[in-house]
Amino acid sequence: MREIRVGLAGLGHVGSAAASLLHRTAEGFVRRFGARLTLHAVCDASPAKARGLGLPRGVRVERDWRRLTADPAVDIVVELIGGQDPAKRLVLEAFAAGKDVVTANKALLSRQWPEVVGAAQAAGRRLAFEGSVCAGIPIIGSLARSLAPNGIRQILGILNGTTNFILSRMTCDRCPAGAALREARRLGLAERDPRLDLDGSDSAHKLSVLASVVLGRWLDPARVGRAGIESVGLDDALFAVEELGRTVRLLGLARFEDGPEGPTVEARVCPTLVPLRHPLAAVHDAYNAVMLETSEAKDLMFYGLGAGAGPAASAVVGDLWLLAEARLGGRAAPPLLWAREGRVAVRKPEDCLGRFYLRFQASDRPGVLGRIAQALGRQGVSIAHVHQRSRSGSARTVPVVLVTHAAPEGRVRRAIEAVAGRDGVSRRVALMRLL
């Protein structure tokens, strides 16, 4: 019976779960493909982690990842070390040695896309990375296979579970942001340093990977417009639900347009007011969801847990089965669909049209609303409605909420700059898009 051998680097939560799942599903693989997919070697800077995983006897345990890439018996390398280095060297050396690679490393892929994808292509090897975006949700597999005949016009997604948990607790349970974050930490849903979640960076990395798959070219995450949830207060969350019939979600959006000189992309991550009837409004707690607007299948949504060892291991081992099946076929790898020639034009965030929600805190004195409205008017931004509540109790300021008609983001931001921090208007302004 033929055998495909796996070398797995990185025995953290995901690596341990993947090693275990690979072992538990070995029989299913044999039944399906009439061949064996075996864990040949694992590698971790702390090799002691391999104990207690219940690995089958005969699995080699290494400390140095070079022992995987240098081992001619290894067919597929699984990179679950995370981060940039040595993950990148491992992946590049694996391709150079004729191995296929599975990774779940969104930081590596989003930042080093051209080099990593280029190395796979130069070596004629395969790269699979379902686990790098939304863990066990089969979004990359669907884009690459079932939906391949479709043009993808838009990706719209809740790509970060931590912020979605916080926003859910705010909008559904009237829980303040700080308390919701502490609860997320307690439940193991947030990193010790959650800044990359809160400021939208994690979502931007995932959006970059998804958009790069669709485009076949790199969308540098540095070119993704980015706003986090730090400025979204409980007031905003409750106002949205009660007065606007909307809820707040941190959405990543990539919109693709074909032009004569190649594709143009609009790409951003920002807190967004979603109508309560919209399917993304029903994505609660730490769940993720990705909506696609496609040319043939129309609107699709993929929903599930976007993190966790089990879901990520599902993606990793699913990828392993696919690469193993391809190797068993003895085919040369087809050209990677995510490696096309040419540059991507990215629209500047300030030029992107949208309807906006703005909340100012203002001292309750004559003329403040007038100045805000005037500043928007000077930028050609028209106002759809205004809500100003009267001062309650001992509060020294009142919230002034405005919703605009469609306008370029740059103009709205310039209007804000003209009034924020002056003449009784607070420096901090909550800004959200309407979906």
Residues that bind its own copies (CB under 8 A): 17, 21, 25, 28, 31-34, 130, 135-138, 141-142, 145-150, 172, 277-279, 281-284, 287, 289, 294-305, 308, 310-311, 313-315, 317-318, 321-322, 325-326, 328-331, 334-335, 337
What is the radius of gyration, based on Cα positions, of the chain? 24
H/E run at residue 179: helix 177-186
- Residue among 277 and 396 whose Cβ is closer to its own copies: 277
Helix, strand and coil content of the chain, in percent to the nearest 5, comes to 40, 25, 35
- Residue among 280 and 373 whose Cβ is closer to its own copies: 280
Q: Given the structure tokens 């395969």, which residue do they identify?
A: 126
Longest CA pairwise span in the chain (Å) = 84
- Residue among 318 and 354 whose Cβ is closer to its own copies: 318
Query: At closest approach, how far in Å is the CB of 289 from its own copies?
Result: 8
Query: At closest approach, how far in Å is the CB of 260 from its own copies?
Result: 17
Query: At closest approach, how far in Å is the CB of 109 from its own copies?
Result: 17
- Residue among 173 and 243 whose Cβ is closer to its own copies: 173
- Rounded to whole angstroms, the Cα distance separating 271 from 233 reads 11
Query: At closest approach, how far in Å is the CB of 197 from its own copies?
Result: 20
Cα–Cα nearest to 386, from 417, 423, 357? 357
Q: Are 7 and 71 in contact (CB under 8 A)?
A: yes
Query: At closest approach, how far in Å is the CB of 305 from its own copies?
Result: 5
Helices (H), 84-131: 87-96, 106-123
Instruction: Look up residue 146 and give its DSSP letter.
Output: I
Query: At closest approach, how far in Å is the CB of 320 from its own copies?
Result: 8
Instruction: Name, in order, each residue with C-beta under 8 angstroms of 53's C-beta and a sequence gap of 6 or more.
Output: 11, 16, 19, 20
- Residue among 136 and 399 whose Cβ is closer to its own copies: 136
HSE-CB of 277 using CA atoms within 13 angstroms: 1
- If one counts every other C-beta atom within 10 angstroms of the C-beta of residue 395, the result is 12
- Residue among 149 and 366 whose Cβ is closer to its own copies: 149
3-class state of residue 317 by DSSP: helix
Residues with a catalytic annotation lie at: 206
Strands 262-275, 345-346: pairing kind: parallel
Query: At closest approach, how far in Å is the CB of 59 from its own copies?
Result: 18
The residues with which 52 forms a beta bridge, in sequence order, are none
Q: Are 159 and 252 in contact (CB under 8 A)?
A: yes
- Rounded to whole angstroms, the Cα distance separating 207 from 211 reads 6
Cα–Cα nearest to 14, from 216, 244, 310, 232? 310
- Residue among 162 and 426 whose Cβ is closer to its own copies: 162
